[in-house]
Chains A and B, each alone.
Chain A
Amino acid sequence: MTYIAPLPKEAIADPELRGLMAEAEALGVPDDLFPRILARAPEQAVPLMRALIMSHAQGNVDHRLKEIMRILLARFANDKYFASLRSAKARAMGLTEQRIDEGCFAYEDDAKGFSAAEKCALRYADLMFLDANQLDKSFYDEMKRYWSEAQIMELGAFIAFHYGMQMFMRSLGAVPLA
């Protein structure tokens, strides 16, 4: 039970929010709990839900990589809610639990087969809230060897937003509905 009770699903009348909830249900991230809590702040619920889904499932970076990054961040945030959810889209693209664990805990190990670009992106997520001072000019220079500036902004904004929402859900003591 979260510290703040979610609204009943039937109490959410906003068609835009309900549409986003259906989109999220198909994706698997987030489940209904997150929007039902957010719906208590209706002015924020739609833009935050849209940003969460869009930054995760759209854009110009491989969704499987972003799914690994999202779970890495949720585990670091100690957020049981988002850490337990899985993207059906990433699974359909072939992402396995083993690959997720390798990406979270052993991505620097050459034997795991992550590309230099993937390692750099995973390091970006790893360091952002562990030691942001390491994300300096030389780090961004290395990122630019593999990613366009647009992709770096996509990744950075994705990391920042998802981690923030994960810390929010952690603070509420949230766990997945299923």
Chain B
Amino acid sequence: MSVNPDAVDAAFFDELRRHYSDDEIVELGAFIGFNLGYHTFFGTLKFYPLFLPDGRLVSQAESEKFYGAAPVSLGKAEAAE
């Protein structure tokens, strides 16, 4: 829907229906649309989570270092603990 919306065609919906009901597809589609819009907007505002994965409350500058341009994978952070 975001990268190549033209690929979301009748054949794609046929495939979706093999796994999901029409009601579930609507739920997923609206969820994707909502997130597609808001995450782009939030990205322009340059704000970052208040907490690090270990639960520490940090400043936005510290949070940006962790989650910013080259974010550390949460999986790697957990593995390092």
Contact = CB atoms under 8 A, between A and B. Distances in A.
Given A128-B41, A156-B44, A161-B34, A167 B5 contact: yes
B78 interface: no
A7 to B, nearest CB: 9
B30 A156 contact: no
Contacts of B32: 164, 168
B80 to A, nearest CB: 31
Interface stretch (B20-28, B48-56, B59-67): B20-28
A14 to B, nearest CB: 15
A165 interface: yes
Interface in B35-55: 35-38, 40-46
Contacts of B8: 171
Interface of B: 1-2, 5, 8, 10, 13, 22-23, 25-27, 29-38, 40-46
Main secondary structure of the interface of B (DSSP, over half): helix
A136 B10 CA distance: 38
Contacts, number: 86
Contacts of A160: 37-38, 40-42
- Size class of the contact patch on chain A: 20 to 34
Contact of A156 (B22, B33, B45): B45
Nearest to B41: A160
A57 interface: no
26 contacts: A4-B13, A4-B26, A4-B29, A38-B26, A40-B22, A41-B30, A44-B27, A44-B31, A48-B30, A48-B34, A78-B5, A128-B40, A132-B40, A132-B43, A135-B44, A136-B44, A156-B45, A160-B42, A163-B37, A164-B32, A164-B34, A164-B36, A165-B33, A165-B34, A168-B33, A173-B10
B36 A167 contact: yes
Contacts of B10: 3, 173
A3 B13 contact: yes
A66 interface: no
